[in-house]
Structure 1
Amino acid sequence: MTPFGEKMRKLRMERGVTLKQMADEIGVSSAYLSALEHGKRGRPGWHLIQRILSFFNIIWDEAEEVIRLARISHPRITIDTSGLNPKATELANRLADEIARLEAATLDEILVIIERRRSKTLAAGSPSDAARRRRSVRTG
Structure 2
Amino acid sequence: MTPFGQRLRSLRAERKRTLKDMAAALKVSSAYLSALEHGHRGKPSSGLVQQIAAYFNLAWDDVDELKRLAQISDPRVTIDTSGLSPAATELANRLAETIGALDEATIAALRKKLEG
Output the TM-score relative to the length of structure 2: 0.97
Normalized against structure 1, the TM-score is what? 0.81
Which sections of structure 2, spanning at least 5 residues, go unmatched?
none
**Structure 1 vs Structure 2: percent identity of aligned residues?**
58
Count of matched residue pairs: 116
Q: Tell me the SS of whatever aligns to 1:43.
A: coil
Distance apart, 1:2 and its partner CA: 0.5
Amino acid aligned to 1:45: S
Q: Which has the higher helix share?
A: 1
Aligned partners of 1:108, 1:62: CA distance in 2, in Å? 23
Please list the CA deviations of residues 10-41 of structure 1 after superposition, one character each: whole Å capped at 9, or x if unmatched. 00001100000111111100000000100110
Moved over 2 A (4+): none
Q: Which amino acid aligns with 2:45?
A: G
Paired amino acid for 1:108: A
Tell me, in whole angstroms, the C-alpha distance in 2 between the residues paired with 1:81 and 1:46. 27
Structure with larger RCO (C-alpha < 8 A, sep 6+): 2
Q: Distance in 1 between matches of 2:110 and 2:62?
A: 24
> Quick one: distance in 2 between partners of 1:95 and 1:2?
18
From the CA coordinates, give the structure whose radius of gyration is larger.
Answer: 1
Matched, 1:63 2:63: yes
Q: Aligned residue for 2:77?
A: 77
Superposition RMSD in Å: 0.8
* Equivalent position SS for 1:13: helix
Unaligned runs of 5+ in 1: 117-140
